[in-house]
Structures are given as C-alpha cells and as structure tokens.
Amino acid sequence: MEIKDEHGRTFKTLRVSLTSLCNFGCVYCVNSEDKGGLNDINSNAILHLDYDKLADLVIHLHKILQFESVRLTGGEPMLYQNLIPFIQILKSSGIKNVKMTTNGFNLKQKAEELASAGVKDINISLDSIDPEIFKVIARRNFHRQVIEGIDAALKNGISVKLNAVIMRGLNENQVLPLLEYAMSKKIGLRYLELMRMGHFYSKNFNEYFFPMDDILSVINTKYPLATSAYRNPSATAKIFQLENEYEFGIIANESEPFCSDCDRLRLDSAGNIYGCLSEEKSEYISDIAGDEIQLSEKLIEALKHKQPLKFKGSPLMMISIGG
C-alpha cells in the first residue's frame, strides 16, 4: 500500500513525544493556567503506554516507512523513566538515527549514557544567554544547568544544535548573544519563529511574533550575511551563511511555511499518530500496530491531515505533541 499524497509527500521522519510532563514552563509552550509540568503531575490525564509497547509501535511504523531518523521529544524526554532502554530497543531493531530535542536540564548527568546508547545528535532549547531573561522565558532559574548540559554533550562527542524561539519584547535582544555563543562553541543554531500553537493559537500571537526578516536585520547590524540562503528538501530550517562562513538556520513557519514538502510524522506517548501540527485530529494505532494493512490505512489517513501549503497552527499544546 503506497503511503503518499497528491503532493508526493510521505513520512520519512518520526518525532516521538515520550511524555507530556516537563520540569520547565516555557512561556511559548505552556501558559501558567495550563496543565502540564511537574507541578501538575497528578492532574496530567494522558494515559502513557509502557515503554516497550511504545517502542513496539515505533518499530512497526519503521517497518512500513523506513524512517531516516526518529527524534525523541516531549514534554521533556529526559524525564522519561525508561529513556535508555527505549533507545536501546530502537537501536537494536535497526533504527540507526535516534536523535533528541531537550531542554538540557539533565544532560550533564545523562550525556555519557546517551552517547553510549548511540545518540549522536541532540537539539537543545536555549532562548537566552542572559540568565535573567532565561528565567522569565523558562519560568525556571536553570540557565547554568543548561549551559553545563551543552558542555557535557559536546564532551561526550554528541553533535549539538541550539533551538531558540525569539519573541518580541522578551528575547529579541538575545539574537546576537545566542549567535556569538553558538559561534564560540562551534555548534549549530536555529532561530524559531513563534508558532501559533496551544495558548498562542487564539490570542496574543501577533504581540509576540518576531519574524524571520527582523531576526536577519538584527544579525546584519553586526555580522553581514553572505548572499546565498537555501532550504534542503523537507527540512524545516532555511540556512543562512555569514561572511565569516558560520551557518545558522531560521525555522520560519509563518514567514516561509514549508508544509509543501513536509515529511514528518508524530507519535504521542498514548499511541496516537499526528500527520500535521496544524491539525488536531490524530489516529489511534496502539491496538492495531501488528497489522500492517490497518496501520498503513491509518498512515494514509494521517497524511490527509497535512496542510497543502501554509501552517495554520492549532490549539494542540507543544508540551503534549512534542514540537
């Protein structure tokens, strides 16, 4: 059964949200009244699958789709109790590229174990070099731990890319410090435009939205851009080069949507697949994972949820679906 839509899109990368819990409370991800976060651990109603059952789902999906990579996310993936055994199951089933997106808080303790389990590539969310601004955005005073986490990952040979969501009035003055930090560490950096997700779907989005062109203008004041910019097929980030040859990316969901060649599939910790972040609908697959025909049918349904061209956003919370 061919899993392809009329735009020629299929699923080539999987993002697995291991948990909807988090030890941070980033302002763009959760609003203070939302459920989620460790403070609300008892009120989190999502029924998580056991880790071996969740791993089994990933393996069945991989059998059909032959993913180029599987990225672990959340919530905060490093709070997942069976993280290392989960990764080991994926690796031993032949999934070569297991990556992770994390807030970096526990990375100092876990980097060595992750590297030994075969994780070679980690995206770390860091929205500010200034600890005070960091505290306002993450709602936690954990800047030092994240910086130490980045160092620990690098020391263990893990390739690191920073993700920085830039918001007007909050951290636009961090565009240059983040760039300079990333250049000094010789690591990747991707600025993210704020996405209309969760509480930003219905209100306040325009107030905080800081577009790609504004990010580039700030950078150009100090570091002239070389002329060429490109986006690889199915990639989220548009890549820019400075005259000093350092390359950085901007994920510009709003300014330059990349839905037309999106190849991402998402799986949450309860066993639902999502074909698109802009669509609340999901397909429950936990009960049919072993049946290739039924699973393929669900994948075809999920593919229909992708937007043709433009990212519309959704009330789905990033903390549950995983970004």
What does 195 interact with, of ligand SAM, ligand SF4, none (CB < 5 to 8 A by kind)?
ligand SAM
What does 30 interact with, of ligand SF4, ligand SAM, none (CB < 5 to 8 A by kind)?
ligand SF4
Out of 57, 276, 319, 321, the residue judged to bind ligand SF4 by CB under 6 A:
319
The count of other CB atoms within 10 Å of the CB of residue 291 is 13
Q: Which is nearer to ligand SF4, 76 or 283 (CB)?
A: 76
What does 156 interact with, of ligand SF4, ligand SAM, none (CB < 5 to 8 A by kind)?
none
For residues 177 to 216, the per-residue mask of contacts with ligand SF4, x marking binding by CB under 6 A and - elsewhere, is ----------------------------------------
> Rounded to whole angstroms, how far apart are CA atoms 141 and 69?
32
| Region of 68-76, 183-191, 262-270, 280-288 interacting with ligand SF4 (CB under 6 A) | 68-76
Q: Are 118 and 89 in contact (CB under 8 A)?
A: no
For residues 84 to 103, the per-residue mask of contacts with ligand SF4, x marking binding by CB under 6 A and - elsewhere, is -------------------x
Q: What amino acid occupies position 316?
A: L
Q: What is the DSSP letter of 28?
A: T
C-alpha closest to that of 199 among 313, 310, 279: 313
320 makes contact with ligand SAM (CB under 6 A): no
Q: Are 230 and 172 in contact (CB under 8 A)?
A: no
| 257-276 binders of ligand SF4 (CB under 6 A) | none
> Rounded to whole angstroms, how far apart are CA atoms 241 and 257?
20
299 makes contact with ligand SF4 (CB under 6 A): no
DSSP H helical segments within the chain, as ranges?
Answer: 51-65, 83-92, 107-116, 131-138, 143-155, 175-185, 205-208, 212-220, 292-304, 318-321
37 makes contact with ligand SAM (CB under 6 A): no
Q: What is the DSSP letter of 49?
A: P
Phi, psi of 321 (to 5 degrees): -90, -25
Site residues (CB under 6 A) for ligand SF4?
Answer: 22, 24-26, 29-30, 74-76, 103, 125, 318-319
Site residues (CB under 6 A) for ligand SAM?
Answer: 22, 28-29, 73-74, 76, 101-103, 125, 163, 165, 192, 194-195, 197, 200, 318-319, 322-323
